[in-house]
């Protein structure tokens, strides 16, 4: 299947469209031309717009340098043979030059930019007045400096991305270590206890007819052992750190900021009196929902609404992305199966809907914890 066509990358918002407003000036200048020269001029402007659009999708590819070269050639021709003020189209190119990650290509592009900006002035030096020089030179300096600023910004974004990846890797290592610790604890404590219960049960089966009194004593021992096992499980669970919804929202904010997706949080995020297990499951479901938004939705905004009623908690995650076909959208995909499995532990549910974006509604009953008596 073909992906949905994008004029410009959705994550950049309206920024690329605003830049296109500056194309109106070369078009106005072109209205002064006539005949074949005007036709050729309009074709070059059209090709320039095409290269402008393609450059947003060609970053890091071999075609990026060729598109830049074609853009600079068009600017040079339009400046030399049409209107000298077409020189200002160089602002488009100067921004893209800063996207070069290769230092050599960046230097070559900078040399080409300087030639493109200065050659028309040198050729038309005798026709340019001092006042026009005062007008042109500041803009030319800005055009030459712009690639360095764009390059610095790209480096910062790259380092930020690397930091996010490193943090994610650290989190995965912590989770792996936690799983290994739990596995060891289960094997060292609960495993032996359950083995003992199994042996005791087999003994009771043999004694129930031959020695009922001894069998009753063994059943009591099994009961005490099972309660000890329950206590061990509780201690193991209490050692695990439960993630609250408030803490998860902090992580969600960082993830969405990295993806340049706006976030609005509505409702009560503290969820007072909600058991740790419920908060943990809701947090995991929220993380899965946000991951899907970043990967699949192409959204620019996300709204999270939390509502705590007397008997249930409703968590709604909504985005303004491309949406999905709910009728054909299997709940087995995109992490929804995992959400349903987790929520089934607390008798919760998840509902998916799509209308100008996607809405995920997670409902969880509020389970009141009751303290059980411990029998010595």
**In the chain, what are the domain boundaries?**
10-128, 162-239, 245-365
Fold held by 162-239: 1.20.5
pLDDT of residue 326: 66
Collect all residues with Cβ–Cβ distance below 8 Å to 254 and sequence separation of at least 6. 164
> In angstroms, rounded to a whole number, what is the distance separating the alpha carbons of residues 151 and 174?
35
pLDDT of residue 130: 77
Label residue 36 by pLDDT band (50, 70, 90): very high
Long-range contacts of 156-161 (CB under 8 A, 24+ apart): 160/258, 161/258
Long-range contacts of 104-107 (CB under 8 A, 24+ apart): 105/65, 106/147, 106/151
Cα 270 to its chain centre, rounded Å, is: 24
Q: At residue 6, does pLDDT exceed 90?
A: no
Q: How confident is the model over 51-69, as a mean pLDDT?
A: 89
Architecture of domain 245-365: 2-Layer Sandwich (3.30)
pTM over 0.75: no
> In angstroms, rounded to a whole number, what is the distance separating the alpha carbons of residues 252 and 262?
11
CATH topology agreement for domains 162-239 and 245-365: no
| Residue 271 φ/ψ, nearest 5 degrees | 50, 60
Q: At residue 371, does pLDDT exceed 50?
A: no
Label residue 77 by pLDDT band (50, 70, 90): very high
* Region of poorest pLDDT, from 120-134, 140-154, 228-242: 228-242
* Region of poorest pLDDT, from 74-78, 103-107, 129-133, 327-331: 327-331
pLDDT of residue 189: 66
């Amino acid at each position: 299947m073909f992906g949905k066509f994008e004029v410009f990358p959705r994550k950049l918002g309206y920024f690329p469209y605003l830049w296109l407003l500056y194309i109106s000036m070369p078009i106005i200048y072109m209205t002064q031309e006539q005949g074949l020269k005007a036709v050729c001029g309009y074709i070059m402007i059209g090709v320039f717009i095409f290269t402008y659009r393609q450059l947003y999708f060609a970053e890091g590819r071999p075609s990026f340098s060729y598109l830049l070269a074609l853009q600079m050639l068009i600017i040079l021709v339009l400046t030399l043979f049409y209107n000298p003020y077409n020189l200002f189209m160089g602002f488009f190119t100067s921004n893209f030059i800063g996207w070069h990650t290769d230092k050599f290509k960046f230097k070559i592009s900078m040399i080409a930019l300087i030639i493109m900006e200065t050659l028309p002035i040198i050729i038309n030096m005798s026709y340019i007045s001092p006042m026009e020089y005062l007008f042109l030179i500041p803009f030319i300096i800005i055009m030459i400096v712009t690639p360095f600023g764009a390059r610095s910004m790209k480096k910062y974004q790259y380092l930020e991305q690397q930091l996010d990846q490193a943090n994610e890797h650290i989190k995965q290592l912590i989770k792996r270590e936690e799983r290994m610790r739990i596995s060891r604890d289960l094997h060292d404590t609960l495993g032996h206890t359950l083995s003992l219960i199994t042996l005791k049960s087999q003994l009771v089966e043999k004694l129930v007819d031959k020695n009922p009194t001894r069998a009753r004593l063994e059943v009591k021992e099994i009961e005490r052992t099972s309660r000890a096992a329950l206590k061990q499980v509780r201690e193991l669970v209490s050692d695990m750190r439960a993630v609250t919804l408030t803490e998860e929202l902090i992580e969600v904010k960082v993830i969405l900021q990295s993806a340049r997706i706006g976030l609005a949080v509505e409702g009560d995020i503290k969820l007072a009196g909600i058991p740790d297990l419920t908060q943990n499951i809701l947090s995991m479901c929220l993380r899965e929902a946000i991951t899907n938004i970043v990967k699949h939705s192409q959204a620019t905004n996300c709204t999270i609404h939390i509502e705590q009623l007397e008997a249930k908690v409703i968590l709604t995650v909504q985005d303004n992305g491309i949406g999905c076909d709910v009728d054909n959208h299997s709940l087995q995909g995109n992490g929804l199966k995992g959400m349903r499995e987790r929520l089934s532990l607390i008798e919760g549910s998840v509902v998916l809907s799509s209308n100008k974006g996607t809405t995920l509604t997670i409902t969880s009953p509020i389970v009141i914890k009751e303290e059980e008596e411990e029998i010595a």
